[in-house]
Structure 1
Amino acid sequence: MALALEELQKDLEEVKVLLEKTTRRRVRDALTAEKSKIETEIRNKVQQKSQSKAEFDNEKLAFVVAPITAGYTVKISNYGWDQSDKFVKIYITLTGVHHVPTENVQVHFTEQSFDLLVKNLNDKNYSMILNNLLKPISVEGSLKKVKTDTVLILCRKNAENTRWDYLTRVEKECKEKEKPSYDTETDPSEGLI
């Protein structure tokens, strides 16, 4: 049984890595469902072991995570953002988020992205992944704050006093494509009759 539990832990870690990398909603939903199944299997195996009073290696027990108990995951798409000299601030409004336990609000930062997961808020999970940030951030200096009905993500800028015109590189590319191009070589009155 220890070997099966160890294999489930490895499966769970790999699913987590894939969840961090996915950008497609359907794929993310499928991986989130699979993650929940694996967590349930792990919890059931741990309960079976404790019921049979078998010895259990505490090191492996540390890898067991609290399973997601809510019904389904809602993808967060509405947010606001601002910046200061040191931080890029992302504001996410979630009614009642300040009432859930702090361990239910999790943020994972990388140098170019962050992933927010709010577990069991009004019997739902809420998820937001923001990839391809405009500039690299400091993983160690970034943090989250839970306020009344709001989650505040603070992404620490690597270079202070640098201004971000956009939040992500994709947003920058889209906005730059929308800008009209001007031909400076032709006479502007040429099209007039």
Structure 2
Amino acid sequence: MSTSNELKLDLAEYEQLHKTAKRLKVQQSLSREIEKLRREIATAEAREEAKAAQSQSNDNFAVSSDGSRLYQENITNYAWDQSDKFMKLYLTLDNLASIGDQDVQSEFTDRSVTVKVKFQKKICTLHIARLCESILGKESYVKKKSDYVLVMMKKSEAGKTWPWVTEREKKSKEKDKPKVDDSDPSAGITSLLKNMYDEGDDEMKRTISKAFYESQMKQATGADPMSDL
């Protein structure tokens, strides 16, 4: 079955032939083929649009071996911890007792992880395309526990502490981190304190407000305002 793009290429060639044709009979024959191709293109485009719409509506479903539809659910929330050798993810899922170890599948590369947990009517998937740091994929694995799935990712560099799980988190936090101006240390410290104040609880805000007040009092008397900070 020809696609609309292939039919359009045919149409372009027919139209080019029509422009160069000299005989009336040939021109008429080419005109009929051109009109036929235009109708076929319209039909093909409509069919392709319907297929794309159907595919979009099925994005959240997969098909099991018996032909039944399985709902696909993305895992976006997880707890994490780490040791010197491993970065660990904890995927808390309901009804894990109803499935076997073979229903938990994993795939690792040096910077990505994909875990699929297959239930009777749905597949839960965790996919991290870019990890914060690199791992040894062949030495990484998953374990199904009674109420969570443990993802064990072996660090390429043992002993290195990961600040975050994903590269996106790392870049986002580094972007938001206040920069210290080396040319003006007091301004840098002030910026850090302001950031701590904005993100701190009531007790932290009271402590920082007191520090600012005492700093201003010292500055008024000619003392070094940063001596106690």
Question: In which range does the TM-score fall when normalised by the shorter chain?
Answer: 0.5 to 0.7
The residue number in structure 1 matching 2:105 is 106
The residue number in structure 2 matching 1:130 is 128
Q: CA deviation at 1:99?
A: 2.4
Q: CA deviation at 1:135?
A: 1.7
Q: CA deviation at 1:67?
A: 6.5
Give structure 1 regions of 4+ aligned residues with deviation exceeding 6 angstroms: none
Structure of larger gyration radius: 2
TM-score normalized by the length of structure 1? 0.61
The residue number in structure 2 matching 1:117 is 116
CA distance in 2, matches of 1:187, 1:137: 38
The residue number in structure 2 matching 1:60 is none
Is the contact made by 1:142 and 1:154 (CA closer than 8 Å) also made in structure 2? yes
The residue number in structure 1 matching 2:171 is 173
Q: CA deviation at 1:81?
A: 0.7
Is the contact made by 1:141 and 1:155 (CA closer than 8 Å) also made in structure 2? yes
Deviations 1:69-94 (A, max 9, x none): 55311111110111011110000000
* Corresponding letter in the other structure for 1:134: C
Is the contact made by 1:72 and 1:125 (CA closer than 8 Å) also made in structure 2? yes
CA distance in 2, matches of 1:100, 1:169: 32
CA 1:157–1:187: 2 relative to 1, 3 Å: closer
* Corresponding letter in the other structure for 2:92: T
What is the aligned length?
135
* Corresponding letter in the other structure for 1:110: T
What is the RMSD computed on CA atoms of the aligned residues? 2.9
For the residue of structure 2 that corresponds to 1:167, the secondary structure is coil
**Alignment identity in percent?**
31
The residue number in structure 2 matching 1:83 is 82
Mapping of 1:1-193 within 5 angstroms?
A: 30=59, 33=61, 36=63, 66=65, 69=68, 71-121=70-120, 123-186=121-184, 188=186
For the residue of structure 2 that corresponds to 1:172, the secondary structure is helix
TM-score normalized by the length of structure 2? 0.52
Is the contact made by 1:69 and 1:120 (CA closer than 8 Å) also made in structure 2? no
Q: CA deviation at 1:183?
A: 2.3
For the residue of structure 2 that corresponds to 1:116, the secondary structure is strand
Unaligned 5+ segments in structure 1 are 1-25, 41-65
For the residue of structure 2 that corresponds to 1:144, the secondary structure is strand
Q: Which structure is higher in helix share?
A: 2
